[in-house]
A and B are shown apart, each in its own frame.
Chain A
Amino acid sequence: MLSQLRSLWKVFQHSFTPPDTVQYPEQKPYLAPRYRGRIVLTRDPDGEERCVACNLCAAVCPVDCIALQQGLDENGRWQAEFFRINFSRCIMCGLCEEACPTYAIQLTPDVEMCEYDRQNMVYEKEHLLIAGSGKYPDYNFYRVAGKDVGVKTKGSGDNEQPPEDYRSLLP
Chain B
Amino acid sequence: MAEFMTVLYVLLTLLLLLVLAAMLIWYERRLLALWQDRYGPNRVGPFGLLQVAADMIKIFFKEDWIPPFAEKAVFVLAPAVVVITMLLAFANVPFAESLWVSDLNVGVLFFLAMSALAAYSTILAGWSSNNKYALLGGMRAAAQMISYDVFMGLSLMGVVLLSGSFNLREIVEAQQQGWHITSQFVAFGIFMVAAVAESHRLPFDLPEAEHEIIAGFHTEYSGMKFGLFFVGEYLSVLLISAMSVVLFFGGWLGPILPPFIWFCLKTLLVVSFIILLRAAIPRPRFDQLMAFGWKLMLPLALINLLLTGAVLLWWEA
Contact = CB atoms under 8 A, between A and B. Distances in A.
B45 to A, nearest CB: 16
Interface stretch (B29-37, B71-79, B142-150, B194-202): B29-37
B276 interface: yes
A1 to B, nearest CB: 9
B294 interface: no
B39 A15 contact: no
A164 to B, nearest CB: 69
Contacts of B37: 14, 17-21
Contacts of A12: 35, 276, 280
A8 interface: yes
Interface in B278-297: 279-281
Contact of B280 (A7, A17, A18): A7
A4 B281 CA distance: 7
B39 A8 contact: no
Contacts of B279: 11
B277 interface: yes
B127 to A, nearest CB: 33
B35 A8 contact: no
B280 A8 contact: yes
Nearest to A23: B39
The contact size tier of chain B is: 10 to 19
A171 B39 CA distance: 79
A15 to B, nearest CB: 6
B62 interface: no
A19 B38 contact: yes
A10 interface: yes
Interface residues of A, number: 14
Contact of A20 (B35, B38, B276, B281): B38
A10 to B, nearest CB: 7
A14 B34 contact: yes
A17 B39 CA distance: 12
Contacts of B35: 11-12, 14-15
A11 B38 contact: no
Best-buried of B33, B35, B39, B280 by chain A (most CB within 10 Å): B280
Contacts of A23: 39
Interface string A11-35: 1101101111101000000000000
Contacts of A17: 37
B38 A21 contact: yes
Interface in B110-126: none
A15 B36 CA distance: 9
Contact of B39 (A4, A7, A21): A21
A23 to B, nearest CB: 7
B128 to A, nearest CB: 36
A102 B236 CA distance: 67
Nearest to B32: A11
Contacts of B36: 14
Nearest to A25: B43
Given A11-B35, A23-B39, 13 more contacts: A4-B280, A8-B277, A8-B281, A10-B280, A14-B37, A15-B34, A17-B37, A19-B33, A19-B34, A19-B37, A20-B38, A21-B37, A21-B38
Interface of B: 33-39, 276-277, 279-281
25 contacts: A4-B280, A4-B281, A7-B280, A7-B281, A8-B276, A8-B281, A11-B35, A11-B279, A12-B35, A12-B276, A12-B280, A14-B34, A14-B35, A15-B34, A15-B35, A17-B37, A18-B37, A19-B33, A19-B34, A19-B37, A19-B38, A20-B37, A20-B38, A21-B37, A21-B38
Closest 10 CB pairs of A and B: A11-B280, A8-B280, A14-B35, A7-B280, A20-B37, A19-B37, A21-B39, A11-B35, A11-B279, A19-B39
